[in-house]
């Protein structure tokens, strides 16, 4: 039996990946003045955010900050609620940028 | 990154903070979520390893300058999304070896040889379902891709399934796509693996193994249905280990073969089958999919008394859960699965025990010193999440903080009814095994298997 060469079958195959279903979004490129911290309550984000706020304030004293407590825990058992309520909380706190962490 | 996507959609610029090993994942997730232009700032290193002074130095010297740059950056939409090709179009044509190489290059292969998903093979699978091939069973995160009936068939072909497994594959996909399953967390660092459990007469009809070696590769039905799930996660949920970026299992382990329940022993014992435990009728065929993050050693138990068996089972199930159980308390979900060997099940039943008795005993007797819960939270997530904190927040029952004694024994199981019991395995041996799920990630989801109207005719034709 010919194990290769011209008699070898060819296969026309389809792709196994599903169709991409997301819609691209992007917030406007405003200069941030009021920054919120959104934390998943892991990996020492509280420590990092405190240091970052201190450093950012030193660089620009006009910046205002909203602490992570305002936005709920986006990872814990109430993560779904935190995610669902996040847009309203962002509006209520009038932030124009968020620093989200920590992925690790 | 999902929080970043929510913020961006709400018109608020988002910046992500991730540690070094997760930058690739963050960017891949950003593309999938449609926020490719989101700024990702890197914390250099492995956060749980760094002492506080090192963390502070890195934040000041590296992270903050990156955040400053990100806050000032002009927005970049990222590369334009490529148009999605027609699923029915030929993606590639070549020899068997060329197909394998192409699929590996595209990231579509799990590294094992795949059965080429030709149009003809996919269509044969579609004959075994009445569902429309374009019906979308769900969108699987984190890839944000549609799990259509067509795509299920293509991956079923690749896995080496037989066409008549298609109704099972559809039910499996429905379970994985259910929000309760949380497939978006299937790439988390614990490296959990989905487990498919089939309960019903269909297991015998399709040739699933329920006896010796039930969880071992070797029988086509069990092996290929298990493999299918991993291909589904790769090609629809977009979860890929390196050279991909999105599956961050630190170590992980291989796919689980599908587990099938031994209906004959269940009937003999007069116990309810797993599908009835899950809320379905005895005459149905039911798929359950849940995560497995840890597997016990073989649990050998002996004697005619139920308590002799249960003491051993409880101890080994409990030590397998170990300190990781803190995640169950933290997230409020914990679903261990006990695969009970038939001989052990017969001994328990002979002593008058049923599944409820087994669950109750485990709930009351699987315990661990409290200090392990508190300590492990720090090891895993670098945060001081104590049992007392959880009790005071109303997130854990009061029994977890009845004293301050770190050696006080606290329960590992949250609810009696959350322990699954499936009878399977070698009837000639006194062995059971425990499979521990990963808290709310991969919580068990059950779906009925729906056969096509022409099932008997199709089965007759397929032989």
DSSP B125-136: HHTT--S-TT-E
Q: Do the chains contact at A56 and B67, CB–CB below 8 Å?
A: yes
Specify the DSSP element, H or E, that contains B2.
Answer: helix B2-9
Query: Pick from A11, A41, A51: which is nearest to B96 by CB?
Result: A11
pLDDT-derived band at B463 (thresholds 50, 70, 90) equals: low
Which residues of chain A lie closer than 8 angstroms to B81, CB-CB? 20, 24
pLDDT-derived band at B384 (thresholds 50, 70, 90) equals: confident
Which two tokens mark B54? Answer: 């090192």
| Residue B427 distance to chain A (closest CA, Å) | 39
Instruction: Provide, rounded to the nearest whole percent, the portion of chain B with pLDDT above 70.
Output: 98
For residues B129-136, average pLDDT = 98
Query: Pick from A17, A31, A91: which is nearest to B235 by CB?
Result: A17
Whole-angstrom Cα distance, residue A67 to residue B422? 47
Q: What is the pTM of this model?
A: 0.95
Chain segment A11-49, per-residue pLDDT in tens: 999 999 999 999 999 999 888 999 999 999 999 999 999
SS3 B3: helix
The reported pLDDT for the residue numbered A4 is 47
Of chain B residues 270-289, which have a CB less than 8 A from chain A? none
pLDDT at B49 over 60: yes
* Chain B residue with minimum CA distance to A31: B72
- Can you give the three-state secondary structure of chain A, one letter per residue? CCCCHHHCCEEEECCCCCCECCCCCCCCCCCCCEEEEEECCCCCHHHHHHHHHHHHHHHCCCCEEECHHHCCCCCCCCHHHHHHHHHHHHHHHCCCEEEEEEEC
Query: Pick from B41, B67, B88: which is nearest to A14 by CB?
Result: B88
The reported pLDDT for the residue numbered A3 is 45
Q: Do the chains contact at B75 and A42, CB–CB below 8 Å?
A: no
Query: Pick from B93, B331, B332: which is nearest to A12 by CB?
Result: B93
| Residue B324 distance to chain A (closest CA, Å) | 15
pLDDT at B102 over 80: yes
The reported pLDDT for the residue numbered B75 is 78
pLDDT-derived band at A2 (thresholds 50, 70, 90) equals: very low
Chain segment A60-97, per-residue pLDDT in tens: 999 999 999 999 999 988 899 999 999 999 999 999 99
pLDDT-derived band at B78 (thresholds 50, 70, 90) equals: low
The reported pLDDT for the residue numbered B461 is 85
pLDDT at B391 over 70: yes
Chain segment B136-190, per-residue pLDDT in tens: 999 999 999 999 999 999 999 999 999 999 999 999 999 999 999 999 999 999 9
Chain segment B226-248, per-residue pLDDT in tens: 999 999 999 999 999 999 999 99
Which residues of chain A lie closer than 8 angstroms to B75, CB-CB? 26-29
Q: What is the ipTM of this complex?
A: 0.93
Whole-angstrom Cα distance, residue B73 to residue B110? 39
Domain ranges of chain B: 2-72, 94-291+444-463, 294-436
């Amino acid at each position: 039996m010919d194990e290769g060469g011209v008699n070898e079958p060819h296969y026309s195959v389809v792709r196994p990946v599903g169709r991409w279903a997301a819609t691209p979004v992007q917030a406007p490129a405003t200069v941030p003045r009021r920054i919120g911290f959104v934390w998943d309550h892991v990996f020492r984000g509280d420590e990092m955010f405190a240091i970052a706020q201190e450093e950012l304030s030193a660089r620009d004293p006009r910046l205002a900050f909203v602490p992570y407590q305002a936005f709920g825990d986006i990872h814990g058992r109430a993560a779904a609620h935190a995610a669902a309520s996040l847009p309203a909380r962002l509006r209520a706190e009038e932030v124009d940028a968020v620093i989200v962490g920590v992925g690790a | 990154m999902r929080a970043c996507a929510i913020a961006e959609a709400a018109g608020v610029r988002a910046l992500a903070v991730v540690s070094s090993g997760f930058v690739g994942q963050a960017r891949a997730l950003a593309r999938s979520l449609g926020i490719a232009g989101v700024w990702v700032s890197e914390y250099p290193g492995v956060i749980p390893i760094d002492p506080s002074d090192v963390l502070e130095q890195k934040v000041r010297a590296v992270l903050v300058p990156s955040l400053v740059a990100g806050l000032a950056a002009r927005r970049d939409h990222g590369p334009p999304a490529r148009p999605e090709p027609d699923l029915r179009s030929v993606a590639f044509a070549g020899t068997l070896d060329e197909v394998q190489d192409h699929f590996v290059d595209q990231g579509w292969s799990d590294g094992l040889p795949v059965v080429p998903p030709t149009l003809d093979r996919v269509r044969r699978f579609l004959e075994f379902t009445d569902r429309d091939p374009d019906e979308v069973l769900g969108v699987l995160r984190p890839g944000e891709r549609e799990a259509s009936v067509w795509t299920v068939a293509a991956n079923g072909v690749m896995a080496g399934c037989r066409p008549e497994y298609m109704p099972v594959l559809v039910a499996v996909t429905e379970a994985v796509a259910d929000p309760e399953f949380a497939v978006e967390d299937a790439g988390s660092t614990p490296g959990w693996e989905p487990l498919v459990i089939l309960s019903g007469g269909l297991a015998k009809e399709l040739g699933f193994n329920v006896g010796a070696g039930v969880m071992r590769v070797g029988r086509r039905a069990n092996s290929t249905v298990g493999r299918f799930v991993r291909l589904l996660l790769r090609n629809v949920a977009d979860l890929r280990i390196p050279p991909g970026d999105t599956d961050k299992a630190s170590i992980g382990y291989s796919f689980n073969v599908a587990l099938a329940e031994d209906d004959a022993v269940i009937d003999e014992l007069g116990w309810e089958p797993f599908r009835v435990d899950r809320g379905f009728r005895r005459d149905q065929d039911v798929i359950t999919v849940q995560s497995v993050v840890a597997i016990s050693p073989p649990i050998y138990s002996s004697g005619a008394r139920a308590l002799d068996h249960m003491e051993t089972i409880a101890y080994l199930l409990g030590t397998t859960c170990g300190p990781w159980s803190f995640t169950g308390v933290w997230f409020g979900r914990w679903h261990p699965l006990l695969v009970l060997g038939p001989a052990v099940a017969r001994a328990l039943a002979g002593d008058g025990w049923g599944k409820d008795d087994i669950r109750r005993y485990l709930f009351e007797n699987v315990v661990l010193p409290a200090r392990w819960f508190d300590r492990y939270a720090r090891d895993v997530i670098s945060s001081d999440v104590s049992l007392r904190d959880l009790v005071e927040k109303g997130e854990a029952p009061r029994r977890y903080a009845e004293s301050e004694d770190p050696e006080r024994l606290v329960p590992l199981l949250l609810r009696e009814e959350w322990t699954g019991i499936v009878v399977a395995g070698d009837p000639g041996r006194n062995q059971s095994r425990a499979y521990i799920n990963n808290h709310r990630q991969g919580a068990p989801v059950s779906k009925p298997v729906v056969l096509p109207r022409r099932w008997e005719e199709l089965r007759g034709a397929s032989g």
